[in-house]
Amino acid sequence: MENIITLDYGSGGKKTSELIDNLIVKKLSNDALCALGDGAVLSGCDRLVFSTDSFVVSPVFFPGGDIGKLCVCGTVNDVAMSGGVPKYLSLSFIIEEGFPVSDLERIVDSVSAAARKADVSVVTGDTKVVERGRGDGIYINTSGIGFLEHGNLSPRNLRTGDKVILSGTSGDHGAAIMLARNKNLVEGEILSDCAPLNHLAEKLYSLGDGLRVLRDPTRGGVATTLCEFVEGTPLSIELSEADIPVLPAVKSACDILGLDPLYCANEGKLLAVVSPECAKEALEIMHGTEEGKNAAVIGEVTDTHAGKVFVRGIFGSRIVSKLSGAELPRIC
C-alpha cells in the first residue's frame, strides 16, 4: 500500500480491495465481515441482512436521478443482492455550510419517492454540517436492514455451464455522470439507470438454488464484478461481446470519453448467475418487469482460464481484469 490515500482507493477496483483486505478486514475480522458481500447476513433473529453505503456522487443532481434517489436505491439493492428483503433505512447527512435548503428539500423528496417505490421506511437519521470548503455540497450515508429470503447466494455456488445474465443495458449510470460533468462533449442526454431492484430480486429468489449469486455492478462495472466472482477459483467467465446490451448513446459517449461500458457503473442493473436449467425462467422473470425488460444472457461460466474473465468479440478474445485506478471518481 502507498503512504497516503489516493482517489484510486475509492474506485471500487483493485486499490479498494487492497485497502479493505489489508487494513480494514484484517483488523476487524469476524465471519460476517469476512464474507465481504454487499451486505452482512447476521445470525440470530430470523437472519438479518445489514448493509451500508456512503454517497459522494458529483454532481449531486444528474439526468435520471440525484443523490437522494441514488442513496436509497444503492442500499436497497445491496440488501437485495445479499438475499434480503429490505425494510428499514437510516439516512445521515454531511452538509457543507452554504448548501441551499431548496436543494436539500429536493433531495429529501427524492429519498421519499425512492423509499416508497422500494417499499422501505426511513426510520432513523442524523445531520452534521461542516464548514465551507470542508465538504462538497452534500454527502449521504444510508444503511439498510432487511430480512433474509434467499439464504444461499454466493460466488462460491458457481458451476461450469452456469449462465451469466445482465438485467439490462450496461454502463448507463457511469456514462450519465461523466456526461453531466462534460456537458458539451456529446449531443443529447443519457439517463442514469438508478432504480431499486429489490422487487426484481425477490422474484428471482423463487429460482431457489438455481440462482447462484446476485450482484449489482456499481463502481467498477460489470467487468469488475464478474472478476470478483471467479478471482482465486478454478473457474472462468466467458462473455460474448455481441450479447452485452449497451445503449447506442452510451457506446458513443464511452468512445468519446475513452471509457469501456463494461467498466462503467450501473445503479439499476443486476448480474445473476443461474444454473443452465434455470436460465430460461430467469430471463422470463426479468423480461416481465420494467427493470429487467432488456435482460440478456451475456456469458457462461467455464473452466478454461482459472480466475479470469474474458470477452469474445468479432476480432477474437480479450481478458478483462478488475478496474485499476480511479477511472470514474465519485460516481456514487
In the complex, least distance from residue 142 CB atom to its own copies, rounded to whole angstroms: 9
Mark the segment that binds its own copies (CB under 8 A) among 91-99, 231-239, 244-252, 287-295. Answer: 91-99
- Residue among 99, 229, 263, 310 that touches its own copies (CB under 8 A): 99
- Residue among 21, 59, 129, 256 that touches its own copies (CB under 8 A): 129
154 binds its own copies (CB under 8 A): no
Residues in the chain: 332
Site for its own copies in 28-47 (CB under 8 A): 28, 30, 32-33, 39-40, 42, 44-46
In degrees, rounded to 5, the angle at the alpha carbon of residue 243 between the alpha carbons of residues 329 and 302 is 90
DSSP string, 256-299: HHT--TTTS--SS--EEEE-GGGHHHHHHHHHTSSTTTT-EEEE
In the complex, least distance from residue 135 CB atom to its own copies, rounded to whole angstroms: 6
- What is residue 154's DSSP assignment? -
In the complex, least distance from residue 166 CB atom to its own copies, rounded to whole angstroms: 23
User: 108 or 297: whose CB is closer to its own copies?
Assistant: 108
Q: CA 218 to CA 222: how far, in whole Å?
A: 8
Mark the segment that binds its own copies (CB under 8 A) among 5-13, 225-233, 277-285, 314-322. Answer: 5-13
Q: CA 9 to CA 291: how far, in whole Å?
A: 31
Total Cβ atoms within 10 A of residue 67: 27
For residue 293, which phi and psi values (nearest 5 degrees)? Answer: -65, -25
- Residue among 23, 185, 256, 319 that touches its own copies (CB under 8 A): 23
172-181 and 248-257 are packed helices; what angle lies between their axes, rounded to 10 degrees? Answer: 50
Q: CA 130 to CA 135: how far, in whole Å?
A: 7
In the complex, least distance from residue 27 CB atom to its own copies, rounded to whole angstroms: 5
Which among 186, 153, 202, 177 has a CA at the least distance from the CA of 55? 177
50 binds its own copies (CB under 8 A): yes
128 binds its own copies (CB under 8 A): yes
Q: CA 173 to CA 130: how far, in whole Å?
A: 28
- Residue among 61, 63, 104, 233 that touches its own copies (CB under 8 A): 104
Question: What mask of x and - would describe binding to its own copies in positions 287 to 326, judged by CB under 8 A?
Answer: ---------------------------------------x
In the complex, least distance from residue 8 CB atom to its own copies, rounded to whole angstroms: 8
Total Cβ atoms within 10 A of residue 240: 15
Which among 160, 207, 91 has a CA at the least distance from the CA of 305? 160
Question: What mask of x and - would describe binding to its own copies in positions 223 to 242, judged by CB under 8 A?
Answer: --------------------
- Residue among 101, 184, 248, 314 that touches its own copies (CB under 8 A): 101
In the complex, least distance from residue 116 CB atom to its own copies, rounded to whole angstroms: 10
In the complex, least distance from residue 51 CB atom to its own copies, rounded to whole angstroms: 6
